[in-house]
Homo-oligomer: A and B are copies of this chain.
Amino acid sequence: MAKIAVVGSGFIGRAWAISFARAGNEVAMWDQAPAATEGARDYIAGVLGDLEANDLLRGQAPDAVLARISVTPDLGEALRGASHIQENTPEKRDVKREVFSLIDGLAEADAVIASSSSALLPSTFTDHLAGRHRCLVVHPLNPPYLIPAAEVVPAPWTSPETVERTRVLLVDAGHAPLVMKRELDGFIMNRLQGALLEEAFRLVADGYASIEDVDIGIRDGLALRWSFMGPFETIDLNAPQGVRDYVERYQGIYENLFSQMQRRVDWAGPVLETVEADRRAKLPKEKLVERQVWRDRRLMALAAHKRKSEEDIGK
């Protein structure tokens, strides 16, 4: 197993530490604010207990996983011997540029340097580096120890070997990497999410549907099949002769809809009053944190269910 350095010990850094350590890797966490790092291991211990309760620790005891996670105030020590570095500092281009300079100067010659950035293209903060060929983005959804998908996004100068080593590391850690051919704003997942959200806000703004109607249509409708097949396999199975048959039968309908979707509704405009009023009526602001705990419990139960279904029924 490898040594992984996690740079930045906030929510995402801690979650990556759990994911990598669960897979058997040694993890060294570093943060420029020692206070942040200090709370990290206690927080992680709590999560590991929940994961064990859902049989999501690969049969290991929480303590055994926790023992593989260390925290250090010394960046050089965190990076020493690490073959993969996962960076989780704030989403600001200048911050990332500086942090990557620092890491590139201190890391082992053959280490891969990955950023968890969700919004910055890797080319915008790695162009100046001697080791830019070994830099890329690995963007998770939160929390990565419960959501397998992670986007691997190369800059134009990222070497194929860097991409491949990262892909293998992620698969070994139980992740499902999406390997982009080249970088693009929003990567894959936020583009898909954005396309759907634009239509959702438009339907609400135009008075056709409520917030709850949209959420029902996804959580009690479309996302059931999507949650174990994805959208392409879904349409492939939704016409007798497969995806070509589906396109021949139904593209006309979608083409007509697309032409109605060219107008953008300002999410922060009047529609936001409706969206916020509906959401706050269902969930008062003071219950948001409690509901996030509920969400993560549901995600854990779903992860356990999917693993069992893949074993019992097939993947």
Q: Closest residue to A150 on the B side, CB-wise?
A: B221
Residue-wise, chain A 289-314 has the 8 Å CB interface mask toward B (1 for contact) of 00110110111011101000100111
User: Which of A62-70, A108-116, A123-131, A223-231 lies at the binding interface?
Assistant: A223-231
Q: Which residues of B contact A231 (CB under 8 A)?
A: 193, 196-197, 200, 214-215, 218
Q: Mark A238-278, 1 if CB is under 8 A from B, else 0.
A: 10111110011001011111101110101110001001101
Q: Which of A18-26, A34-42, A158-166, A202-210 contacts B (4 or more CB under 8 A)?
A: A202-210
Q: Are B211 and A188 in contact (CB under 8 A)?
A: no
Binary B-proximity of A114-150 (CB < 8 A = 1, otherwise 0): 0000010000000000000000000001100011110
Contact with B along A36-53 (1 / 0, CB 8 A): 000000000000000000
Q: What CA separation (Å) do A37 and B180 show in the bound complex?
A: 49
Q: Shortest distance in angstroms between A120's beta carbon and chain B's nearest beta carbon? A: 10
Interface of A, secondary structure class, is: helix
Min CB gap A194→B, angstroms: 4
Indicate if the CB atoms of B285 and A241 lie closer than 8 Å: yes
Given contacts A185-B256, A231-B214, A232-B200, contact A247 B272 (CB under 8 A): yes
Cα distance, A257 to B189, chains bound together (Å): 12
Q: Is A213 in the interface zone, CB < 8 Å from B? A: yes
Complexed CA–CA distance, A176 and B227 (Å) = 18
Beyond A189-B222, A301-B312, A314-B294, whether A262 also contacts B262 by CB under 8 A is yes
Docked complex Cα distance between A313 and B224 (Å): 19
* A298 close to B189 (CB less than 8 A): no
Binding site for B on A (CB under 8 A): 119, 141-142, 146-149, 151, 176-182, 184-186, 188-200, 203, 207-209, 211, 213-233, 235-238, 240-244, 247-248, 251, 253-258, 260-262, 264, 266-268, 272, 275-276, 278-280, 282-283, 285, 288, 291-292, 294-295, 297-299, 301-303, 305, 309, 312-314
